């Protein structure tokens, strides 16, 4: 008689204890249940060893004491079998439901232990016990495993694949070794089965390294999601600060790693603060008290003051109102939104209730945009473009609008940034292109061409030209009726892909405009490199022309360059007759703006163009009614 299997199991559990206790842990719900299972298993192994030692000395010890130890050991086995179910449901149920299940399961396990204990137990001198109590114990453990399997199958979609595999392997290990002991009782494998099951869970699911970032040693993004979700579920206060390093310019490679490690060391000095790795070179500190984040903010301010170099390379965003969100994804989405609103006027940008409201408005717009795409509530409005040479409306620009379910119109400034952020800008762009082609097919002789904007995302699509040509062919639209507006992009890769698409479209007969010229960091090389036939002065540049002498020189230079390169020039944002006459004198080729009309729904646009062009030769003094007055904004 020996207890080598129990000793092996105990060694395994002790090693897990050592590893588990020497690593950082968040002690989330599943970790707490695993820690409980670890303690119960340790106690069970010690009881098994003591039981075997007692049987070895049964000549000198009271038989009832040995039977009592055997029943206590059997009770610990039953308790371990129920822990599998509690561990399974820890990551599935919400707090209240989990607490109810935990209490119910523990009560049932206690009743099962009592049920097994009231039956008789016999002791075999070879070191094991047998009899009705043991048989009842086998049945109870089997029932507990069946219940666990039932809950696993019932919640199969909610259990991640790795956790599912770990629990099934744990149960399979138990069943195999316990059945072996059932039919070969002198080979005592029950305790080893439990220890190996705990080892499986540790290696597959609860290994502390799986929640740590390999590069910096702080908690990783996966741990961040789990921690935030649990804190939000229990409605715990959440205060956080994000430290974002600008990984550009001089801060790259080894220098970036050095500064990131330094920032991390500063954050980890503060008690009560958990530090997580975000996306890229972002670190997120979370505390349950406002005071801890206050201390962190002071420490970061002090460090930045000592080393000004760091403050130029890092941005700090603080939020004390994260507990109002529903899940971790919302918190991190809000944090990303807050970063875009950071005005960089101070080292620490602190969010407030108005920013939270703006975020929720943005999310509502995102929902509205997605629903509009699904429900076909995207509409194409068209703004007239006046030809100075022909003295008529010769073209137009297609512009996206969303019509809400109650009939209101949403402007592009509201939803285009959202579409660019959530990735639906490409779908939106193709929908506007198709609607424009359908409009042209029904009004073939109305205009020379219509301008349609291309988003940067569409320009990155290598299949762009093929998709656009297929749409034009579907509606039998002559390619010369289409002019595609492009904007400058800083990405060399995007520019190369765009050039390839432009070459294919030019071969097909489509022309291009360079939009928003004069906005941001306009690059004159774009006029040289890109095969465009029209340059469009940005709204702000057109307005500056009438307020700033320098802007007049710039517009004059652009006009000279455009015409020298055989390009036409469009002035956007023209709203008064004085502005119109000035641009005509400046030899601008086309005029676009509210002086002629706001962007119009398609039916109104057709009426406007037909009405205006039919009356273009009438002298203003002889007109009884201005034909475009009703189309101007109030």
Q: Residues of 106-129 as b/e, b for ≥16 C-beta within 10 angstroms? A: eebbeebbeebbeeebebeeebbb
List % helix, strand, coil for the chain (3-state, nearest 5): 60, 15, 30
The answer, yes or no, to whether residue 330 has pLDDT greater than 50, is: yes
Structure confidence at residue 250 (pLDDT) = 47
Whether residue 216 has pLDDT greater than 70: yes
73-85 pLDDT, tens digit each = 899 989 998 998 9
> Does pLDDT of 136 surpass 50?
yes
Non-local (6+) Cβ contacts of 413 within 8 A are none
b (16+ CB within 10 A) / e for 403-417: beeeeeebebebbbe
Helices 63-90 and 190-201, axial angle in degrees (round to 10)? 20
pLDDT band at 100 (very low <50, low <70, confident <90, very high): very high
Q: Write the CATH number of the domain with boundaries 212-351.
A: 3.30.70.270
Top mean-pLDDT range of 257-266, 437-446, 526-535:
437-446
- pLDDT tens, residue by residue, 223-254: 999 999 999 988 888 999 888 876 544 445 67
Mean predicted confidence (pLDDT) in 349-376: 91
CA distance 529 to 519: 18
What is the third-level CATH fold of 362-605? TIM Barrel (3.20.20)
Does residue 491 surpass a pLDDT of 90? no
Distance, C-alpha 19 to centroid of its chain: 33
Mapping DSSP onto H, E and C, the string for 537-601 reads ECHHHHHHHCCCHHHHHHHHHHHHHHHHCCCEEEECCCCCHHHHHHHHHCCCCEEECCCCCCCEC
Closest CA to 172 of 262, 287, 84: 84
Residue with tokens 């629903």: 371
Encoding tokens for residue 331? 């918190």
What pLDDT is recorded for position 489?
61
Question: Within 13 Å and on the Cβ side, how many CA atoms surround 375?
Answer: 11
pLDDT (0 to 100) of residue 251: 47
Q: Look-up: residue for tokens 């991640």?
A: 160
Most confidently modeled of 399-403, 419-423, 535-539? 399-403
Closest CA to 198 of 13, 337, 328, 25: 13
Residue 471 DSSP SS3: helix
Model confidence pLDDT, tens digit, residues 524-545:
777 888 899 999 998 988 999 9
**Paired tokens of 550:** 């320098």
Average pLDDT score, the chain = 87
Question: Cα–Cα distance between 182 and 204 in angstroms, integer?
Answer: 28
pLDDT at residue 387 greater than cutoff 90: yes
Which of the four pLDDT bands, split at 50, 70 and 90, describes residue 632?
low
**Strand pairing class (282-287; 239-245):** antiparallel
Where do the domains of the chain lie?
Answer: 4-207, 212-351, 362-605
Confidence tier at 523 by pLDDT (50, 70, 90): low
d(C-alpha 158, C-alpha 293), whole Å: 34
- What does DSSP assign to residue 216? T
4-207: CATH topology is Rhopdopsin 7-helix transmembrane proteins (1.20.1070)
Q: What is the DSSP string of 503-538?
A: HHHHHHT-EEEEEEETSSS--THHHHHS--SEEEE-
1 with 126: CB under 8 angstroms? yes
pLDDT category at 314 given cuts 50, 70, 90 is low
What's the rounded mean pLDDT across residues 412-436? 92
**Residue 311 pLDDT class (50, 70, 90 cuts):** very low
Q: Tokens 């935030």 label which residue?
A: 228
Q: Does the reported pTM lie above 0.85?
A: no
Closest CA to 405 of 364, 361, 362, 439: 364
pLDDT of residue 293 exceeding 50, the answer is yes
Strand-pairing partners, residue 191, are none
Taking alpha carbons only, the member of 522, 521, 545 closest to residue 532 is 522
Whether 553 shows a pLDDT value over 50: the answer reads yes
Check whether 617 has a pLDDT greater than 70.
no
On whether the CB atoms of residues 35 and 10 are closer than 8 A, the answer is no
DSSP string, 184-206: STTS--HHHHHHHHHHHHIIIII
């Amino acid at each position: 008689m020996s207890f080598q299997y129990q000793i092996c199991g105990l060694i395994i559990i002790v090693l897990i204890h050592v590893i588990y206790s020497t690593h950082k842990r968040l002690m989330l719900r599943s970790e707490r249940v695993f820690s409980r299972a670890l303690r119960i298993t340790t106690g069970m192994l010690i009881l098994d060893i003591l039981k075997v030692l007692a049987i070895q000395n049964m000549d000198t010890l009271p038989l009832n004491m040995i039977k009592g130890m055997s029943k206590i050991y059997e009770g610990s086995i039953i308790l371990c079998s129920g822990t599998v179910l509690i561990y399974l449901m820890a990551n599935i149920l919400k707090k209240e439901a989990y607490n109810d299940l935990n209490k119910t399961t523990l009560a049932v396990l206690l009743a099962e232990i009592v049920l097994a204990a009231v039956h008789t137990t016999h002791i075999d001198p070879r070191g094991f016990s047998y009899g009705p109590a043991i048989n009842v114990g086998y049945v109870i453990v089997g029932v507990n495993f069946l219940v666990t399997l039932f809950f696993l199958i019932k919640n199969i979609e909610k259990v991640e694949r790795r956790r599912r595999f770990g629990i099934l392997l744990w149960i399979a290990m138990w069943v195999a070794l316990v059945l072996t002991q059932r039919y070969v009782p002198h080979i005592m494998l029950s305790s080893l089965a439990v220890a190996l099951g705990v080892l499986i869970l540790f290696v597959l699911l609860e290994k502390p390294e799986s929640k740590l970032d390999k590069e910096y040693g702080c908690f990783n993004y996966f741990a961040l999601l789990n921690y935030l979700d649990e804190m939000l579920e229990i409605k715990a206060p959440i205060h956080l600060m994000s430290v974002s390093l600008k990984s550009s310019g001089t801060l790259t490679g080894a220098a970036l790693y050095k500064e990131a490690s330094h920032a991390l060391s500063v954050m980890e000095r503060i008690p009560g603060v958990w530090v997580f790795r975000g996306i890229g070179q972002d670190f997120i500190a979370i505390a349950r008290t406002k005071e801890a984040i206050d201390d962190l903010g002071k420490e970061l301010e002090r460090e930045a003051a000592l080393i000004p170099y760091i403050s130029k390379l890092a941005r700090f965003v603080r939020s004390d109102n994260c507990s109002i969100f529903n899940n971790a994804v919302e918190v991190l989405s809000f944090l990303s939104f807050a970063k875009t609103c950071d005005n960089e006027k101070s080292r620490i940008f602190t969010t407030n209730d108005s920013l939270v409201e703006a975020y929720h408005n943005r999310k509502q717009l995102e929902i509205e945009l997605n629903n509009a795409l699904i429900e076909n509530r995207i509409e194409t409005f068209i703004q007239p473009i006046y030809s100075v040479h022909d003295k008529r409306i010769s073209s137009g620009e297609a512009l996206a609008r969303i019509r809400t379910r109650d009939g209101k119109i949403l402007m592009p400034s509201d939803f285009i940034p959202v579409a660019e952020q959530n990735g639906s800008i490409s779908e939106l762009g193709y929908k506007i292109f198709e609607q424009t082609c359908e409009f042209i097919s029904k009004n073939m002789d109305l205009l020379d061409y219509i301008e349609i904007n291309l988003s940067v995302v569409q320009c990155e699509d290598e299949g762009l030209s093929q998709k656009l040509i297929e749409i034009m062919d579907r509606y039998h639209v002559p390619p010369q009726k289409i002019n595609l507006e492009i904007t400058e992009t800083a990405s060399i890769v995007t520019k190369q892909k765009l050039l390839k698409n432009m070459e294919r479209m030019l071969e097909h007969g489509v022309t291009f405009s360079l939009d928003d010229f004069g906005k941001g960091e306009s690059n004159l090389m774009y006029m040289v490199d890109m095969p465009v036939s029209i340059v469009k002065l940005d709204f702000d540049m057109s307005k500056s022309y009438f307020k700033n002498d320098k802007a007049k020189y710039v517009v004059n230079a652009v006009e000279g360059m455009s015409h020298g390169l055989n390009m036409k020039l469009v002035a956007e944002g023209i709203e008064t007759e004085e502005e119109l006459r000035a641009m005509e004198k400046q030899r601008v080729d086309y005029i676009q703006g509210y002086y002629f009309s706001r962007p119009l729904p398609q039916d109104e646009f057709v009426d406007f163009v037909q009405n205006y062009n039919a009356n273009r030769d009438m002298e203003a003094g002889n007109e009884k009614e201005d034909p475009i007055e009703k189309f101007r904004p109030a």
